[in-house]
Amino acid sequence: MNISYFDDSRITEKTIKSKITKLGQYRQEIRENMEENNSDVPEYSLYYPKDFTLHSNITELAKTYKNIKHLVVIGIGGSNLGTEAIHQVLDEGKVKLSVLDTVSAYNLAVLLDELKKYKKATQLTICIISKSGSTTETLSNASVLIEELKHHFGEEINQQLIFIGDPKTEVEKYAKKISAHYVAMPKIIGGRYSVATAVGLIPLALLGHDTDEFISGYLDASKDEYETITAENSARLALYLQNKYHHYNFFAFEPRLEKLGEWYRQLFAESLGKETTKNGKPVKDAMLPTISTPVELHSVGQLYFSKITTVYTDFVTFDDEKFDFKTTKSNKLASGLKNLSLQEIVTGLYGGVIGAYQERELPYRATILDESLPYSLGLFMGMRLREIMYTANLMDVNAFDQPNVELYKIKTKEILKI
């Protein structure tokens, strides 16, 4: 993983070091918990994939469903964003992924049309993922989809359902009642930290992706080499927050990383977006994360480059040499492009944008994923989970709760009388 930085002049080596010093105790705590394989702390997510049961579950399910054509994931937030992020990068058209996240009768109707074209139920698998077992959106989507598919394919559809969530919820009971698969996730691991549990790994295995490579990268994020970089990155995040930066721009320069941006955005916003510190003091620093791709150079780009507001930018990209096309001068449209290939043009664009950021003194960090993609994604996600925990520690906020989202849920339930 190649990472470079271009910092605001107020973010100095000295200020970074001082933040890193503050992290000392927390880093030590995590190190000890990891050595003891402590499963009672929320940081368990960082080393959980060593778990042996998880691996045998994955292998077994991947074998059972190895010939499917289409996987539907029903889940929202932490239950689907990790899977979507990884699949968007690794997708080679082997198994199609569809997601039902929020409630939309239109989306459900379109998906049903598509699923009913399959001849046999065994060409499909449906993963129903709800940590709490009570997510309104997921239960609504799942119950309707299952009833409709049962009507079409008969009871055998039950064998194509995999339920994933905390143990002892209504969902587990239901799965057992209809003799469908149920896989537990560890209760202590929050939804947005769950990509390397059954929540992410089972769908990814069913999609035909290399979960071993992914896990290997994910666990390497705890190695000294990467852990040190992560501590530095957290120090920077805390400093940009403290220096009143308002915006955080995840810039997926390779457009297939856009959903990785959505995954990180949730992690960032839910973990750091807190009203009060652990001691009840009001939090005053906030960056709102947004996502860009090079398409936005022709959209929000003008605003970014105008420098009228403060944005910390997070460029993430990878080189993909599998595909390329040469422009040919013989096509007069491309006569100015001097036979350059599309990859060369992309590289030029990237250099041009980075150069413009430097000239305008717009701070950024830039990450290039330069090892095998499943490994790189595992490493990246493992590092980012840890980075957010460290940053929350520096801000003295709880990285693991989401207290303010209850209000709209309560109001919704009042309206619906449920």
Q: Which two tokens stand for residue 16?
A: 């970074």
Binding to a second copy in span 152-211, by CB under 8 A = 170-171, 173-174, 177
**Does position 283 bind a second copy by CB under 8 A?**
yes
CB of residue 15 vs a second copy: minimum separation in angstroms? 22
Contacting range for a second copy; rule: CB under 8 A; set: 28-36, 41-49, 117-125, 262-270: 262-270
What residues from 299 to 318 belong to the interface with a second copy (CB under 8 A)? 299-309, 311
Report 87-106 residues binding a second copy (CB under 8 A).
Answer: 101-106
Region of 27-35, 61-69, 118-126, 252-260 interacting with a second copy (CB under 8 A): 252-260
Nearer to a second copy, 38 or 293 (CB): 293
Among 334, 371, 372, 398, binds a second copy (CB under 8 A): 334
Give the residue from 85, 12, 23 showing the smallest Cα distance to 387: 23
Options 49-57, 61-69, 217-225, 406-414: segment touching a second copy (CB under 8 A): 406-414
φ, ψ of residue 34 to 5 degrees: the values are -70, -45
Residue whose C-alpha is closest to residue 397's, from 264, 285, 274, 288: 274
Site string for a second copy, 105-134 (x = CB under 8 A): xxxxx------------------------x
277 touches a second copy by CB under 8 A = no
Based on the shown chain and the rule CB under 8 A, indicate whether residue 255 belongs to the binding site for a second copy.
Answer: yes
Distance of CA 8 to the CA centre of its chain: 27
Does residue 29 contact residue 42 with C-beta atoms inside 8 Å? no
Return the residue of 156, 328, 361, 370 that touches a second copy, per CB under 8 A. Answer: 328
Question: Interacting stretch for a second copy, rule CB under 8 A, among 196-204, 335-343, 365-373, 375-383?
Answer: 335-343
d(CA 173, CA 130) in angstroms, rounded, equals 13
| Residue among 49 and 203 whose Cβ is closer to a second copy | 203
Residue 282 is given by DSSP the state B
- Closest approach, Cβ 409 to a second copy, in A, equals 7
CB nearer to a second copy: pick between 34 and 269: 269
Rounded Cα gap, residues 58 and 66, in angstroms:
12
Q: Could you tell me which stretch among 119-127, 255-263, 365-373, 386-394 binds a second copy (CB under 8 A)?
A: 255-263
Stretch that binds a second copy, among 28-36, 202-210, 231-239, 338-346 (CB under 8 A): 338-346
CB of 51 to a second copy, least distance (A): 26
Task: Count CB-CB contacts under 10 A for residue 49.
Answer: 22
SS3 of 183-236: EECCCCCCHHHCCCCHHHHHHHHHCCCCHHHHHHHHHHCCCHHHHHHHHHHHHH
The Cβ of residue 83 has, within 10 Å, a number of other Cβ atoms equal to 28
Per CB under 8 A, 84 contacts a second copy:
no
> Closer to a second copy at the Cβ: 20 or 291?
291
At 276 the three-state DSSP class reads strand
Q: Which stretch binds a second copy (CB under 8 A): 32-40, 63-71, 292-300, 384-392?
A: 292-300
Closest distance between a second copy and the C-beta of residue 99, in Å? 9
| Secondary structure (DSSP) of 78-129 | GGTHHHHHHHHHH--SSSEEEEE-S--HHHHHHHHHHHTTSS-GGGEEEEEE
> Judged by CB under 8 A, how many residues of this single chain contact a second copy?
118
Task: Candidates 3, 41, 229, 340: give the one binding a second copy (CB under 8 A).
Answer: 340
Site string for a second copy, 50-69 (x = CB under 8 A): --------------------
Q: Is 250 left (phi over 0), alpha (psi -120 to 50) or beta?
A: beta
Residue 2 or 347: the one with the smaller Cβ distance to a second copy is 347
Residues sharing a CB contact under 8 Å with residue 118, sequence separation 6 or more, in sequence order: 69, 70, 124
* One of 139, 188, 229, 368 touching a second copy (CB under 8 A): 139
* Closer of 64 and 140 to a second copy (Cβ): 140
SS (H, E, C) 139-164: HHHHHHHHHHHHHHHCHHHHHHEEEE
> Position 5: which residue type?
Y
